[in-house]
Amino acid sequence: MKNTALKKEHYEATTNACKLCTPLGASLAFKGVRGAISLMHGSQGCSTYIRRYLISHFKEPIDIASSNFSEDTAIFGGGANLKKSVANVIRQYKPELVGISTTCLSETIGDDVPMILNGIRHDADGAPLPPIVHVSTPSYSGTHADGYVGAVRALVDALSIRKNHEIEPSMVNIFPGMYSPADLRYLKEILEDFAIPYRMLPDYSETLDGGPWTTYHKIPHGGTSVSEIADMASAQASIEFGYVTRKGTTAAGLLSSRFNIPAYNLGMPAGVRATDRLFDLLSELSGNLIPDRHARERERLLDSYVDGHKYLFGAKAVIYGEEDLVAGMFAFLTEIGITPILCASGGTSGKLAETLESLRPEGYDEPITVLQAADFGQIEDAALGTGADMFVGNSKGYSITRKMGIPLVRVGFPIHDRVGGPRIHHIGYRGCQELFDRVTNALLDVKQEATGVGYSYM
Amino acid sequence: MESSKPLYSGESLEELKQDILKKYPTKVARKRAKQIIINTIDEKEKVPEIGANARTIPGILTQRGCTYAGCKGVILGPTRDLVNIVHGPIGCSFYAWLTRRNQTRLKTPDDENYMTYCFSTDMQDSDIVFGGEGKLKTAVQEAYDLFKPKAISIFSTCPVGLIGDDVHQVAREMKAKLGINVFAFSCEGYKGVSQSAGHHIANNGIFKHVVGEDDTVQDGEYKINLLGEYNIGGDGFEIDRILSACGIKVISTYSGNSTYDQFANSHTADLNTVMCHRSINYVAEMMETKFGIPWIKINFIGAKATAKSLRKIAEYFGEQKLIDTVEEVIAKEMPEVESAMADARSHCEGKTAMMFVGGSRAHHYQELFNELGMRTVSAGYEFAHRDDYEGRKVLPTIKVDADSRNIEELQIEKDSARFRARKTKEQLKTLADKGFTFKDYKGMMPGMEQGSLVIDDISHYETEQLIEFFEPDVVCAGIKEKFVVQKSGVPMKQLHSYDSGGPYAGFRGAINFYKEIDRMVNSRVWAYVKAPWQKNPELSGSYAWE
């Protein structure tokens, strides 16, 4: 069709959103708790849509129950439905935890979920119930990234209790961002190699990327147990990832104010410098040197930077996705000689521009164009005519790169037009290496296609 | 129905059913018992009554979507030149953004296509508190300024009905202001028991606001509408190819590869042919009452069903020329189909399938499995009503419950200026004498084998129970069920999106499906994963030296 220019300074309407809704993020976080079942308080469409969307990326079974509002529930309140649904999921799944997120529907009618849950506990009359954790996630406020952070905080808020006054020496709490299951597995590997005892929340490294079953699993294996979450209150320190997370809204922040546990905030450890900061911190906390095989992984990475720099230098990329991911990719790409000409996110923290400015490498004096609370309509307008060489982001940028005839290097979430989304490494030296190879090869591919001869030698 | 001997004995199925039910609390079990039926068919093609189109029990994992999904996602999503604005917070619009694989084919590269866009008012806290009508008006204005489309439609999500935004008033106002058709749907997610309510709301809206807007009589003989065909994986293209080879003109398709103008002009066709009875029969009924267009049920899934449907259309028009062309087309297409069928059948014969999908697909696809010599041991719909299971003959006995009463029934009257009977009384009598039936859908159950199991709105837990009991060779459902089935070591075919495959309709589609199922059920990959009843998987076997 005609290339319709969307250009206008500001639109009221959102065209092709660059964000998903809050309860999706909460459900993702609940998938990282062992034996947990996620339940959405609202219309059944929310859980169906969010399930089908998460499943199309992770390609794993994902169960999310719903309290199935109907018209009269919407009018008279959802208490009865929530009670019924909690009873039914407990009976069917025998879960170790029920994670409840709200939807626009239950939030708009103003259901008092904590009160309903107290009623459920009261009615149980001492009969054992699994912990039921509630997070408020109206999708008219924030994005999926906020729902994720909110659910992790809600879990810690509800479950973390210091049983005695002892602090477990060298025990570290890890609160990863919305990274891939492969990233989480790798993060655990790093911690183990440092010999650091840790508790990680959420941990969906197995629940959302597992093997075939020999017997039926109502809830896939893996995840952080409720007792581990409880014990997070006695750690020596917390490390949280996220460049733009607001102080006081995170699990690490809560543990810091409630139990005086020092919170170290790192951004997404993407790129060598950001990863170095992580390794330095782990070294400091554990008193151990950087494990040899990770040091060698770093050396191989730097070696490849040298080998590949001439193919990358001056290439222009558009980065988009969650704010933390955009900041991480900005740090990584500027480090390998690529100019991020446009950095965009649907995120609404308002902190993306200053974050990117703080990540500006020494000697990098290109202007940084940032679109905050943006949609793909704006991203397309801004990207057309910039001579961008590639997009780095999720599958949703595809229609623009198709129009522009440039490659899309798929990272983040959602990736529903390729296999392997959950197996992509984004963080650490390993993630850097994987992305470096993919980014370089994407550009080589274009160059090779464009030559008349079709050279097959670099 | 190939044999009268039951597929499974009544006792064994009853035992399975009781096994499933005993895990539920009494009230739930009582409700589910009505929705799990052992199929028996008497001489009059009467089947047992099934509970359908009833609310899903909270906390029981369902396949079903919501009213909004049925209205925006299914019915109006595939219309390429209609700007669809979703009024609500962002999620609903995002999740319906190109997630169904409806294909569309522009006539010229400059044609409008808004299917790749996802427009939303992206409501924020303040809109919920102070109302979102202003924002909606601005969004409509912006869409108009940008695209100058023929029409703009507005879809309401859950909070809209609650905060009382009057989307219909906004539509009327903007229609008057912009001079294009603007119309709205009150399709809040909580309105019905499933997406089926959304289909009905969408049907009403198109009929009220679009059908009959353009009275141009197009050239061409044998003019039909194809209703309830959504062009997933290019199904509609294959059907169009066949119909066009037969000399049959399609005025409009509801709604695969459709445009606004097709709907506006659809009342000029001479026959409505209905593929998916569940999602679109309302439009067929209303067009008959108002404009005099009769409707028949057809099915282009399965080579034999395709041939039968073509013959039925030809019989309706009754001209020898058309009857001959249809026979020529069938004769030309069938040899290739039969050779592919025979080849796949030699690997698939005797295998079994289960299907839990949609409101017509679980029925239609049994045709293709029959052609492969595969037996459907169990099937059910996500959002169908009793008539889709038991046939339209039960319509007068269906109880209208509160949830169905929520959905407006339009009071349609004959359009005195434009009503035109397509057949004379004598012609209708001649057709009836030959056994030709109008608006006749026999439903899924009479076509299934005795002793098969029919389940409405199957839950996650029941799916698993059934896989263990039937040990099927393939399961057909949607993406939500896909990975739990595959993890159990059973091949799974998505019949919503076709796993990026298709088309499966018509003759060429049938060939595609035979090959696909043959490849899937005979793939070596299943040797590597262990199904619960398989003893010796290759990869987790012990080493020889252990």
User: Tens digits of per-residue pLDDT, A185-238?
Assistant: 999 999 999 999 999 999 999 999 999 887 888 899 999 999 999 999 999 999
B69 catalytic? Reply is yes
For B70, which DSSP code?
I
pLDDT in tens, B270-289: 999 999 999 999 999 999 99
Residue B540 has pLDDT above 70, yes or no: no
pLDDT in tens, B49-87: 999 999 999 999 999 999 999 999 999 999 999 999 999
Token readout for B56 is: 């899903």
Residue B542 has pLDDT above 80, yes or no: no
3-state secondary structure of A341: strand
For B448, which DSSP code?
S
Q: For the structural domain made of A172-286, what CATH number should be given?
A: 3.40.50.1980
User: Which of A49, A92, A217 is the closest to B95 by Cβ?
Assistant: A49
3-state secondary structure of A351: coil
Whether the Cβ atoms of residue B156 and residue B167 lie closer than 8 Å to each other: yes
B482 chain-A contacts, CB cut-off 8 A: 55
Geometric angle at alpha carbon A170, from A165 and A171, rounded to 5°? 70
Task: Using alpha carbons, select from A323, A328, A329, A325 the residue that is nearest to residue A351.
Answer: A323
Q: Quote the CA–CA distance of A249 and A260 in Å, as a whole number.
A: 16
Residue B136 has pLDDT above 50, yes or no: yes
Task: Point out the least confidently predicted range of A3-12, A17-26, B258-267, B382-391.
Answer: A3-12
- A163 pLDDT band, cuts 50/70/90, is confident
Domain-wise residue ranges, chain A: 22-159, 172-286, 309-450
Q: Check B199, B209, B364, B496 and give the catalytic one.
A: B199
Residue B364 has pLDDT above 70, yes or no: yes
Beta-carbon contacts of residue B486 (< 8 Å; ≥ 6 apart): A212, B492
Report the predicted TM-score, pTM, of the whole model to 2 decimal places.
0.95
Q: Quote the CA–CA distance of B253 and B326 in Å, as a whole number.
A: 20
What does the pLDDT average to over B394-418? 92
Beta-carbon contacts of residue B78 (< 8 Å; ≥ 6 apart): B100, B102, B104, B115, B230, B231, B255, B256, B257, B258
B241 catalytic? Reply is no
Residue A7 has pLDDT above 70, yes or no: no
Q: Quote the CA–CA distance of A60 and B481 in Å, as a whole number.
A: 9
DSSP result, B87-112: ESSHHHHHHTSS-S-B----SSTTS-
Token readout for A301 is: 């990475």
Number of H helices, E strands in chain B: 21, 14
Token readout for A159 is: 């479950």
Which candidate in B83, B122, B157, B533 is best for mutational testing of the A interface (most A CBs within 10 A)?
B122
User: Which of A20, A52, A89 is the closest to B91 by Cβ?
Assistant: A20
Whether the Cβ atoms of residue B247 and residue B268 lie closer than 8 Å to each other: no
Domain-wise residue ranges, chain B: 67-191
What does the pLDDT average to over A120-137? 95
Classify domain A22-159 at the CATH topology level. Rossmann fold (3.40.50)
Quick one: closest CA in B to A88, which residue?
A: B59
Whether the Cβ atoms of residue B85 and residue B157 lie closer than 8 Å to each other: no
Q: Quote the CA–CA distance of B464 and B460 in Å, as a whole number.
A: 7
Quick one: closest CA in A to B198, which residue?
A: A45
Q: Quote the CA–CA distance of A33 and B23 in Å, as a whole number.
A: 25
- A1 pLDDT band, cuts 50/70/90, is very low
What does the pLDDT average to over B398-415? 90
CB contact under 8 A, A43 and B66: yes
Q: Quote the CA–CA distance of A251 and A176 in Å, as a whole number.
A: 11
Strands B375-380 vs A263-266: parallel, antiparallel or unpaired: unpaired
Q: Quote the CA–CA distance of A239 and A175 in Å, as a whole number.
A: 6
- A6 pLDDT band, cuts 50/70/90, is low
Torsion of CA B483, B484, B486, B488, to 10 degrees: 160
Distances (CA, A) of A137 to A103, A134, A147: 6, 9, 6
Q: How distant is the Cα of B109 from the closest Cα of chain A, in angstroms? A: 5
CB contact under 8 A, B58 and A66: yes
User: Which of A44, A81, A213 is the closest to B62 by Cβ?
Assistant: A44
Task: Point out the least confidently predicted range of A398-407, A447-456, B268-277.
Answer: A447-456
Q: Quote the CA–CA distance of B454 and B464 in Å, as a whole number.
A: 15
Higher pLDDT, A82 or B543: A82
CATH class of A309-450: alpha beta
pLDDT score recorded for residue B507: 98
Beta-carbon contacts of residue A284 (< 8 Å; ≥ 6 apart): none
pLDDT score recorded for residue B460: 87
Task: Using alpha carbons, select from A429, A439, A433 the residue that is nearest to residue A275.
Answer: A429
B111 touches chain A (CB under 8 A): yes
B198 touches chain A (CB under 8 A): no
Task: Using alpha carbons, select from A87, A82, A118, A88 the residue that is nearest to residue A101.
Answer: A82
B172 catalytic? Reply is no
B58 touches chain A (CB under 8 A): yes
What does the pLDDT average to over A378-386? 94
Whose structure tokens read 């912009």?
B178
Residue A3 has pLDDT above 50, yes or no: no
Torsional class of A387: left (φ above 0), alpha (ψ -120 to 50), beta (otherwise): left
* Residue B534, CA atoms < 13 Å, CB-side half-sphere: 21
- A2 pLDDT band, cuts 50/70/90, is very low
CB contact under 8 A, A66 and B94: no
A237: β partners: A172
pLDDT score recorded for residue A293: 97
pLDDT score recorded for residue B528: 81
Sheet with B352-356, strands from edge to edge, namely B36-38, B453-455, B375-380, B352-356, B474-477, B492-494
Is residue B338 within a helix (H) or strand (E), and if so which, with residue range?
A: helix B320-348
Quick one: closest CA in B to A59, which residue?
A: B483
Whether the Cβ atoms of residue B474 and residue B491 lie closer than 8 Å to each other: yes
Strands B453-455 vs B36-38: parallel, antiparallel or unpaired: antiparallel
Whose structure tokens read 């409806």?
B102
Query: Which B residues in the span 147-176 are in contact with A, Cβ-Cβ below 8 Å?
Result: 147, 157-159, 161-163
Residue A249 has pLDDT above 90, yes or no: no
- B530 pLDDT band, cuts 50/70/90, is low
Q: Check B52, B69, B184, B264 and give the catalytic one.
A: B69
Geometric angle at alpha carbon B20, from B14 and B21, rounded to 5°? 90
pLDDT score recorded for residue B403: 84
Whose structure tokens read 């119930």?
A129
Residue A413 burial (10 A CB sphere; 0-12, 13-18, 19+): buried
Query: Which B residues in the span 304-343 are in contact with A, Cβ-Cβ below 8 Å?
Result: none
* Residue A123, CA atoms < 13 Å, CB-side half-sphere: 11
B395 touches chain A (CB under 8 A): no
Token readout for B302 is: 């399965």
What does the pLDDT average to over B358-372? 97
B209 catalytic? Reply is no
User: Which of B67, B125, B190 is the closest to A140 by Cβ?
Assistant: B125
Task: Using alpha carbons, select from B339, B316, B338, B315 the residue that is nearest to residue B327.
Answer: B315
Token readout for A326 is: 């955009």
Torsional class of A398: left (φ above 0), alpha (ψ -120 to 50), beta (otherwise): alpha
3-state secondary structure of B79: strand
User: Which of A12, A24, A104 is the closest to B159 by Cβ?
Assistant: A104
CB contact under 8 A, B91 and A49: yes
Q: What is the 3-state secondary structure (H, E, C) of A402-455?
A: HHHCCCEEECCCCCCCCCCHHHCCCCHHHHHHHHHHHHHHHHHHHHHHHCCCCC
Q: Does domain B67-191 have CATH number 3.40.190.10?
A: no
Q: Quote the CA–CA distance of A148 and A154 in Å, as a whole number.
A: 10
Residue B531 has pLDDT above 80, yes or no: no
Token readout for B396 is: 């007068």
For residue B199, which phi and psi values (nearest 5 degrees)?
Answer: -60, -45
Residue type, A169: P
What does the pLDDT average to over B89-110? 94
Signed CA dihedral, A122, A124, A126, A131: sign only: negative
In chain B, % of residues over pLDDT 70: 96
User: Which of A45, A81, A91 is the closest to B69 by Cβ?
Assistant: A45
Token readout for B466 is: 């059934």
Token readout for A328 is: 């991480």
What does the pLDDT average to over B323-331? 98
Q: Count CB pairs under 8 A between chains A and B.
A: 238
A56 chain-B contacts, CB cut-off 8 A: 99, 479
Question: One fold for both A22-159 and A172-286?
Answer: yes
Q: Quote the CA–CA distance of B156 and B89 in Å, as a whole number.
A: 10
Torsion of CA A103, A106, A109, A110, to 10 degrees: -100
A44 chain-B contacts, CB cut-off 8 A: 56, 62, 64-66, 189
pLDDT score recorded for residue B533: 57
Quick one: closest CA in B to A210, which residue?
A: B487
Question: pLDDT averaged over chain B?
Answer: 94
pLDDT in tens, B476-495: 999 999 999 999 889 999 99
Residue A158 has pLDDT above 50, yes or no: yes
Q: What is the 3-state secondary structure (H, E, C) of B269-281?
A: CCEEEECCHHHHH
Token readout for A410 is: 């798929």
pLDDT score recorded for residue B2: 46
Q: Quote the CA–CA distance of A302 and A309 in Å, as a whole number.
A: 10
3-state secondary structure of B505: strand
Q: Quote the CA–CA distance of B262 and B253 in Å, as a whole number.
A: 7
B357 chain-A contacts, CB cut-off 8 A: none
CB atoms within 10 A of CB B195: 31
